[in-house]
Amino acid sequence: MAVAQENARPEGRSSSPFWTIARRDSLAGFLFIAPQLIGIVVFVLIPLGLVFWYSLHEWNVLANTFTYTGAQNYRMLMEDENLLEVLGATAIFSAGLVIFNLSLALLLAVLLNQKLAGIAVFRTLFFSPVVVSLVAWTIVWGFLLQKNGGINGMLLTFGIEGPNWLREETTAMISVIVVQVFKNVGLNMILFLAALQGVPKELYEAARIDGAPAFKQFRRITLPLISPTILLTSIITIVGSLQVFAQIAVLTQGGPGLSTTVLVYYLYQQAFQFHFFGYGSTLSILLFAIVAILTFAQWQMRKRIVFYES
């Protein structure tokens, strides 16, 4: 090819032989992704390497010592009695959050998918907490959930004496889950609504002609067809639940006891309150491993639960 072109090439050709169309495009491609790629290397991959490196060290910030101790931090991890409680709280929090969030989001999406006048107003209102500042939202709920706060006040007008929500183990966990769900369920609701609207109307018409009752239509048509969205939102929601920090810090500070100390909050305490950077890094590795395993597992489940790929 090159030889034939050399022979046939008249003078004054505008493109040099090295910078072919494909080569110029490759260069453009690299330039376009360069900022992102460099950013990922500097702000994600190098820190990830460092966090692993730190996790192999005993690091006392106050005494300014940094000593290689090998797997000692990991042994500490195995022997950390608090950690079991922390992981338990994390699991309860994430599971509760995902189940409550996804079912409420689906319920709201199905309601909003009905042809009713003024449905857009409801959609806007259900979505509105998403745009309310997270800490502001959490502060109001903290205020509402005080022993003498708004919620117990309401309950008392009906003669019910409410608990001290944020100071009792069970209700504290329920509270942080509920506050977080109402804050963000609007996002999943919108994604589900878009998915529901993408289900062809003809399928429901066909099912009605076949005599399938409404709940059966939902189970046999709607759910399978929106299963990709369910999977996607569940991945996003689970990974998001592992990052929840502000709500815990503002509402319960991890208490009472360790009952709402989720892994991120424990990590923050160890590293930035107690200055155990080495052990904090070990906890980071643990957090990373959990996120990676969960994402991988859900990706694998894709084959089994997703009936339909758009």
Partner 1 sequence: MADVTLSDIRKSYGAVKTIHGVDLDIKNGEFVVLVGPSGCGKSTLLRMIAGLETITGGTLNIGDRVVNDLDPKDRDIAMVFQSYALYPHMTVATNMGFSLEHRGASKAEITERVNWAAGILGLGNLLDRYPRQLSGGQRQRVAMGRAIVRNPQVFLFDEPLSNLDAKLRVVMRGEIKALHQKLKTTTIYVTHDQVEAMTMADRIVVLNGGRVEQIGAPLDLYDRPANQFVAGFIGSPSMNFIEGKITEAGFQTSGVVLPLPKSINTAMGQAAVYGIRPEHFRLSDHPGHAGVPAEIVLIEPMGPETQVTMKLGGNQVTGVFRERINSAPGEVMHVSPEVGSIHLFSEDGDTRLN
Partner 2 sequence: MRADISPRTKVALYGVMCVLLIPFVFPTWWMVTSSLKPISDIFAFPPQLVPQSYDWTTYSKVFELQPFVQQYWNSAYIAAVVTVGTMIISSMAGYAFARIRFPYANAVFMIVLLGLLIPSEVTIVPLFQMFLKAGMVNTHWPLILVPIFGAPSVFATFVMRQFFVTLPAELEEAARVDGLGRFKIFTRIALPLAKPALASVAIFTFLHSWNLFLEPIVFLSSAEMFTLPQALTQYTDAYGGPMWNIQLAAATLTALPVLIVFVIAQKQFVEGLAHTGLKG
Nearer to partner 1, 1 or 131 (CB): 1
Stretch that binds partner 2, among 10-18, 83-91, 127-135, 169-177 (CB under 8 A): 127-135
Phi, psi of 65 (to 5 degrees): -115, 145
Nearer to partner 1, 9 or 208 (CB): 9
- Residue 15 token pair: 């493109």
Stretch that binds partner 2, among 37-45, 69-77, 80-88, 162-170 (CB under 8 A): 37-45
Sequence-separated (6 or more) residues with CB below 8 Å from residue 150: 143, 144
Sites of contact with partner 1 (CB under 8 A): 1, 4-5, 8-10, 13-15, 17, 20-22
Contact criterion met (CB below 8 Å) for 82 and 266: yes
Beta bridge partners of 59: 66
Q: What is the closest distance, in whole angstroms, from the C-beta atom of residue 29 to partner 1 in the complex? A: 16
- Residue 274 token pair: 């107690």
Buried b (16+ CB within 10 A) or exposed e, 146-167: eeebebbeeeeeeeeebbebbe
Q: What is the closest distance, in whole angstroms, from the C-beta atom of residue 17 to partner 1 in the complex? A: 7
Q: What is the closest distance, in whole angstroms, from the C-beta atom of residue 8 to partner 1 in the complex? A: 5
x/- binding map, residues 188-227, to partner 2, per CB under 8 A? Answer: --xx-xxx--x-----x---------x--x--------x-
Contact criterion met (CB below 8 Å) for 279 and 195: no
Nearer to partner 2, 7 or 114 (CB): 114
